[in-house]
Structure 1
Amino acid sequence: MATDSGSNSFLANRVDRAALPLAVGDLLVIVAFIYAGTIQHGTVPFPLAGAGDAVALLAVAAPFLLGWVVAAPLVGAYSAGAAESAKASVPLAVRSWIPAAAVGLILRATPLVDGGVAVTFAVVMLVVGSVSLAVWRYVAGQFL
């Protein structure tokens, strides 16, 4: 059975195992800033009181996590060299967040996902997500 070496090489060039700590940190940062927003708006309590609260948080975060999982590898957020320095890592994270947030916002605009999309929400997601990921990537670049 033949394999599609073109798609395998594309992913191999976009995802480097050395960037695994960045990937874990990115996902945690995305959930953390979304959690901060849900606390601010009173939709999920702090601390999480049980499994129901965790599920509610993941329901809010899921469209953006899905967007990140799709966009980040395509943009190259985990490509070779991404984990080597903040100079390379920070711009890749911000460039990945913009399409990832767009995917999340589009999903929230559908009847499949609760929440809707107000312009202010979209701006906050783009700005806070970009800043959060940039700060995390900068700090990670100093220590990883």
Structure 2
Amino acid sequence: MPTSNRMITLLVGDTIALLIFAAIGRNSHGAAIGPAAFAQVFTTALPFLVGWLISAPLFGAYSPSTTANPLIMLRHTSIAWVAALLLGAVIRATMIGRFSPFSFYVVTFIVALFILCGWRALFAVWEERGSLGRR
């Protein structure tokens, strides 16, 4: 896949993954999640999305050499998510005026990482198969 298409696909997929995470979290707390609540879901995801979009490139999560191999992709995604979570926690605390309980960040780390790694692993397998066909 050409680099620009690959990057756009990853950015869109990561954004959707983090929006899904936010919708799941809101739903688990009884908050609205349907199309009418998209702005609230987006606002919920925003601190972690910003954290991800800053951290992921810094830790190689968008690098073609990283994204072409599922195991390397998962390692870089995990490392980048740690940084993104920390940055997102600070952004979120600034937005709401306080830090959330530690359990919130543990659940956020695990669930969002699972969603990100799941989608990105599928992408890496697809990318790897495509590169095998070009050899």
Specify the TM-score bucket, using the shorter chain as the normaliser.
Answer: 0.7 to 0.9
Change (3 A) 1:76 1:35: same
Determine the structure 2 residue equivalent to 1:108.
92
State which of 38, 57, 66 in structure 2 corresponds to 1:73.
Answer: 57
Alignment of structure 1 residues 39-58 onto 2, 5 Å: 39-45=27-33, 47-48=34-35, 50=36, 53-58=37-42
Residues 85 and 109, structure 2, Cα contact 8 Å, conserved in 1: yes
**CA radius of gyration, larger in:** 1
Change (3 A) 1:115 1:29: farther
Deviations 1:76-130 (CA, angstroms, capped at 9, x unpaired): 11113123121221111111111111111112222x3368411110100111122
Determine the structure 1 residue equivalent to 2:116.
133
TM-score, normalised by the number of residues in structure 1: 0.77
* Structure 1: unaligned runs, 5 residues or longer: 1-15
Structure 2 residue 15 is matched with structure 1 residue 32: no
TM-score, normalised by the number of residues in structure 2: 0.81
Q: How many residues align?
A: 124
Alignment of structure 1 residues 80-119 onto 2, 5 Å: 80-110=64-94, 112-113=95-96, 116-119=99-102
Deviations 1:43-84 (CA, angstroms, capped at 9, x unpaired): 223x33x2xx11111111111111011111111111131231
Greater share of residues in helix: 2
- The residue identity in structure 1 corresponding to 2:30 is G
Of all paired residues, the percent bearing the same amino acid is: 27
Kindly report structure 1 stretches of 4+ aligned residues shifted beyond 2 Å: 16-20, 112-116
Structure 2: distance between partners of 1:57 and 1:72: 21
CA RMSD of aligned residues (A): 1.8
Structure 1: distance between partners of 2:91 and 2:58: 19
Structure 2: distance between partners of 1:119 and 1:134: 22
* Structure 2: unaligned runs, 5 residues or longer: 128-135
